[in-house]
Structure 1
Amino acid sequence: MDRKAEPVTGRQLQDVESAVSKRDFDRVTSSIDAMPSGQVVELLERLSVRDRALVYRMLPKDRASVVFERLDAPLQKELVVGLQDEDVAAIFAGLTPDDRARLVDELPATVATRLLRDLPDDERELTSVVLGYPERSIGRRMNPECVTTHPHLTAGESLQRIRHGLQRAETIYTIPVTDDSRKLVGVVGLRQVMGADPETPVAELMSEADSATATEPAEEAARRCAGLRLLAMPVVDHEDRLVGILTVDDALDILENAESEDQARISGSEPLRRPYLSTPVRTLVQARVVWLLVLAIGATLTVQVLEVFESTLEQMVVLSVFIPLLIGTGGNTGNQAATSITRALALGDVRPRDVAKVALRELRVGVSLGLLLGAAGFVIAGIIYGASIGAVIGLTLAAICTLAATVGGLMPLIARAIKVDPAVFSNPFITTFVDATGLVVYFFIARAILGLG
C-alpha cells in the first residue's frame, strides 16, 4: 500500500532534479524509492520529457502502473512515445477501460491502433464500448466493469458475487441491482449487504438508483454525482440497461478539469490540460495568442469611438484622464456578472429560460453598484476638478455599471442557448461591448452637462 503523500518540498525536488541532471542514477533511485507515489507524480510533472521517461523507467513495475494512472493524459502520451513497446503494452493493459479511452484520444492513430490490437479480447471489447460513446459524454468516462446483483438473490449470494468480482471492479461500495435483462432497478450498498442476514433478499435491501444516461454530458453527470454525495453512480443506456459505473473520484476529476477550462477561458486563454511546468513554451503561447488577437481586434471599436469624439476631447482634455477608470470599471463589473452566471449555469442554479429573472436581478445589482461607485466618483472628481466634471464621472459610472452588469449577466445565458461555451463567449464580448458603449455613454453625458459641441 502506498505511503501517505506529503507535499514535495522545494529542497527534495532540487535534490532529485540535480541528481537527474548529473545522471546520478543510484541517488535518483534511492530518492524516488523513499517517495510515496503522489510525490513521484509531482516530481515527474516538473521534469522535461526526456528526464521524465528516464526517471519513470527506474520505478518498480507495480509502482510504475500506479504512477502512470495518476498522470494527466498528455503526459501519459509523452511517456508512451518514450518507452519501449513491451513496457507500453504492459502499462496499457493494466489501465481501466475508461483510462485507456482517455489515453487513446491523445495518441497518434497508428500507436493507438497497435495498442488496442495487442490487448486481450475481453479488455479490447470493454475499451471499445467506452470509445463508442461521444467524446465529452459520461459514457466515455465510465468504467464498464462493475459488480452487480439481482433483486431475487440473497445478501449471502450477493457477497459471493462481490468477492468474485473484487479484482476487476473499480468499486464495490455501491452495487447496481439489475433484472434478468440487465435493466437497472436499484442500488444497494456494501454495508447493507454485509450487515443483513445472509438469507435476506436484495429486493428488501435495495433503494432507488440515481443514474446517468451514457450519452449525457460528462460534466452534468459528474456534478450530479458529486452533488448527491454518491460514492458511485450507475450509467445506463436509453433503455435503462446498465452499461457501466461512474465513481466519485472520476466525477471529481471531470469537475476539476471543467473548472480549469472555465477559469482559463474566462481569463482569455485556452486550457493547458497539463501541469504548467511541463507545458512547452510554444503551447503556452498558442493557448494565449488567439484570445489576445481577438481582444485586440475588438479594441479597434474603442479606437473608432475615440476618433468620433475627438473634437469633444480637444475641448475638454481632462475627460481623457478618466477613460481608463471608466472602461476598466465597466469591464470588471461585466466580468463579475458573467462569472457569477457562468458558475450558476454550471451548478444548474439557472437555465437559459431564466433570462428575464437574471436580467432583472443584474439590472438591480448594476444600479446599486452604479449609485455607490457614482457617488464616490462624484465626490472625488468634484473635489479635484470641479462639480461639473464630478457630475459627469458620477453619472457615467452609474450608467456603465448598470449596463455592464445587465449585459454581463445575459451573455452566458445567450451563449448556452446557442450551444456555445459561456466562458468562451462571454468575456471577450463583454470587454469589447462595454468599452465601446461605455465611451459613447461617457461622451454623451459630458456633452450634455458641459455643453460641448
Structure 2
Amino acid sequence: MDDEFNELIERMDGALRERSLSSVSKVITDYDPHDVARLLEREDPRDRAIIYRLLSRNRALEVFELLEPEMRSELIQGLRDEDTAKVFEELDPDDRAQLIDELPAGVAKALMSGLSPAERALTAPMLGFDADAIGRYMSTEYVRLRGDMTLREALEHVRARGIGAETIYQLPVTSAHRRLLGVISLRRLVMGDPDDLVRTHMRDQPITLHSIDKAEDAAREIMDAQLLAAPVVDSENRLLGLVTIDDAQQILERTETRRAARQGGAEPLRRPYLASPLFGLVRSRVVWLLLLAVSALLTVQVLGAFEDKLEQVIQLALFVPLLTGTAGNTGSQAAVTLTRALAMGDVRPRDILLVMWREVRVGMMLGALLGGLGFVLASLVFGIEFGEVIGLTLIFICTLAATVGGAMPLIAQAVRADPAVFSTPFIATFCDATSLLVYFGVATWLMGL
C-alpha cells in the first residue's frame, strides 16, 4: 500500500477509536474516492456503514460504484432502510442488476418494489437473463437513432436524451421496430451535413452481441476489437442494450481472479483478504483440499499394489518423489498453457486432436532430455539396468502428462466446465498415480520383477 493510503488508515483508526463522527467526516473528505473505497473494504461491517453514511450524496455514489458486488451487498444490508433505498435508486441499471444477484431474496424484492417505475423498467430486462449471460451486464440507458432521421434531428435527439446515457460516443441505429441496422459515431454525427440522413453515415457494427451469449466470451470480443461499446440484441435482432468496454474489462477481471484462484486449488474470496472472515478463508480452501486428499488415495493404492516390488529392489522407492513431481509439473505446465490459450481464443475444443498430437511431441522431447539426464545419473550410482528404468520412465510419463494436461482444459470447455478446475491441482494428483503405474510397469519389464 502507498504512503497516502497508509496515512488514511491511521487517521481513520484514530477517529473511530475516539468515536468522533466529525473527525471521521473530515478524514474521508480529504482523500480520493478510490482510497475511500479501499478503506471501506478493510473495515468491519459496522464501521463501514458509519463511514459510508458520512459521505456526501454524490461522493457516496461514486465510492459505492467502485466496490466489488459482494462488498456492495454487505454494505447495503448494513445501512438504514432510507439510505439503502436512496443508494439503490441512484445506481446504474446494470450495476443494480448485479447487486441483486448478491442480495438475499427478501432484501432484493423489497428494494425492487421501492424503485420508481422508470428505474424499475430500466432494470427489469437484465433480470430475465442467467447470471453468466451478457444480457445481465448490458446497460439499458442508451440513446438510439433511427436511420431515417437527419443528422440535425439526430444531434438534437442526443442532446435531449444523452445526459443519463451510458455512452454517446457510439450510437446504435435502428429501424422503427427497434431492429439494429448499424452504428454511427458522435464524430460523424457532428461533422456530417446536417441535412444528410443517418443511414448514409452509419456503418455496420463489427460485433453484435446476442443477449444469451456467455459474458466472458462477449467481453473478450469487445476487448479484442477495442470497441467503446457493443449493442446487445435478441433473437430477432431487436436492440436491447449496450455493453461498454469498461463493463467488458470488469467481467474479464472477475473471470481471471476466479480462474487464478482455482488454478491454485482454492475458490476465489468474495471480498478483500483482510475483510474476509476466518470461516470464509477456510471455506474457500477446504473443499478443494478434501477433493485432492481423496484423489491422492489413488497414489497410496498404487504404492500398496507394488509393495512386493519395492521390497525386492528398495532403490525403486528413492526415485518416487522425482518421478511423481516431474509428471505433475509437466502436466501442470501443459494445462496452464492451454487454459491461457483458450482464454485468448488461440484454440477451441474442436482442436483437441491437434493439441494432443502437439503435446505428445512436446512431452517426448522433454522426456528425452530429462530421461537422458536421469539415465546418466542413475547409471553412475545404481548401474546401467536401473538407469534404463529411470530414463525410459521419464520419457513415458512426460509424454503422458503433457498430453493429458493439454487435453483436459479443452475437454472442460467442451462440457461447459471451468478449464481452471482441471488444471494444476487435478493434473498433479492424476499424474502422481499414473506415473507410479508407468514406473513400476517399466521396472517389472526391464528388471524381471
Residue 400 (str. 1) matches residue 397 (str. 2): yes
Instruction: For residue 304 of structure 1, report the CA deviation from its aligned partner.
Output: 0.6
Residue 85 (str. 1) matches residue 81 (str. 2): yes
Instruction: For residue 317 of structure 1, report the CA deviation from its aligned partner.
Output: 2.2
CA distance in 1, matches of 2:81, 2:235: 39
**Contact 2:296/2:429 (<8 A) preserved:** yes
AA in 1 matched with 2:356: A
The 10-residue stretch of structure 1 (44-53 or 20-29) with the greater mean CA deviation from structure 2? 20-29
CA distance in 2, matches of 1:399, 1:356: 19
**Contact 2:8/2:31 (<8 A) preserved:** no
3-state DSSP of counterpart to 1:235: strand
Instruction: For residue 307 of structure 1, report the CA deviation from its aligned partner.
Output: 0.6
The 10-residue stretch of structure 1 (130-139 or 155-164) with the greater mean CA deviation from structure 2? 155-164
List per-residue Cα deviations over 1:179-202 (Å, max 9, x = no partner): 111010101111221222322322
1:3 equivalent in structure 2: none
1:433 equivalent in structure 2: 430
1:55 equivalent in structure 2: 51
The 10-residue stretch of structure 1 (409-418 or 427-436) with the greater mean CA deviation from structure 2? 427-436
3-state DSSP of counterpart to 1:238: coil
Partner of residue 172 from structure 2, selected from 173, 176, 194 = 176
List per-residue Cα deviations over 1:63-103 (Å, max 9, x = no partner): 00111111111111111111111111110000111111111
**Contact 1:294/1:428 (<8 A) preserved:** no
**Contact 2:142/2:167 (<8 A) preserved:** yes
Residue 360 (str. 1) matches residue 369 (str. 2): no
1:40 equivalent in structure 2: 36
CA distance in 2, matches of 1:373, 1:163: 68
1:248 equivalent in structure 2: 245
List per-residue Cα deviations over 1:186-220 (Å, max 9, x = no partner): 01111221222322322222111121000111111
1:138 equivalent in structure 2: 134
Structure 2 gaps of 5+ residues are none
3-state DSSP of counterpart to 1:233: strand
The 10-residue stretch of structure 1 (60-69 or 162-171) with the greater mean CA deviation from structure 2? 162-171
CA distance in 2, matches of 1:52, 1:394: 61
Partner of residue 187 from structure 1, selected from 183, 186, 207 = 183
Alignment of 1:157-306 (within 5 A): 157-209=153-205, 210-306=207-303
3-state DSSP of counterpart to 2:51: helix
Distance 1:54 1:289, change over 3 A: same
With structure 2 as the length reference, what TM-score do the two structures score?
0.95
AA in 1 matched with 2:242: I
Residue 127 (str. 1) matches residue 123 (str. 2): yes
2:336 equivalent in structure 1: 339
Structure 1 segments of 4 or more deviating over 6 A? none
3-state DSSP of counterpart to 1:142: coil
1:100 equivalent in structure 2: 96
1:390 equivalent in structure 2: 387
CA distance in 2, matches of 1:365, 1:24: 65
Residue 72 (str. 1) matches residue 68 (str. 2): yes
The 10-residue stretch of structure 1 (217-226 or 189-198) with the greater mean CA deviation from structure 2? 189-198
1:327 equivalent in structure 2: 324
Distance 1:21 1:439, change over 3 A: farther
Distance 1:18 1:422, change over 3 A: same
CA distance in 1, matches of 2:4, 2:294: 43
Instruction: For residue 168 of structure 1, report the CA deviation from its aligned partner.
Output: 1.7
Residue 423 (str. 1) matches residue 420 (str. 2): yes
3-state DSSP of counterpart to 2:287: helix
Partner of residue 370 from structure 1, selected from 341, 349, 367 = 367
The 10-residue stretch of structure 1 (228-237 or 66-75) with the greater mean CA deviation from structure 2? 66-75
CA distance in 1, matches of 2:404, 2:432: 12
**Contact 1:72/1:274 (<8 A) preserved:** yes
The 10-residue stretch of structure 1 (128-137 or 193-202) with the greater mean CA deviation from structure 2? 193-202
Distance 1:87 1:337, change over 3 A: same
Instruction: For residue 384 of structure 1, report the CA deviation from its aligned partner.
Output: 4.3
**Contact 2:5/2:35 (<8 A) preserved:** no
**Contact 1:186/1:206 (<8 A) preserved:** yes
CA RMSD after TM alignment: 1.9
3-state DSSP of counterpart to 2:298: helix
Structure 1 gaps of 5+ residues are 1-5
**Contact 2:264/2:425 (<8 A) preserved:** no
List per-residue Cα deviations over 1:366-393 (Å, max 9, x = no partner): 1111112222323333444444433322
Residue 14 (str. 1) matches residue 14 (str. 2): no
2:152 equivalent in structure 1: 156
Instruction: For residue 427 of structure 1, report the CA deviation from its aligned partner.
Output: 4.2
CA distance in 1, matches of 2:192, 2:441: 77
List per-residue Cα deviations over 1:224-281 (Å, max 9, x = no partner): 0111100000000000000000011000000111111111122221122322222211
Partner of residue 349 from structure 1, selected from 346, 349, 368 = 346
The 10-residue stretch of structure 1 (82-91 or 340-349) with the greater mean CA deviation from structure 2? 340-349
3-state DSSP of counterpart to 1:404: helix
3-state DSSP of counterpart to 1:182: coil
AA in 2 matched with 1:202: V
3-state DSSP of counterpart to 2:241: strand
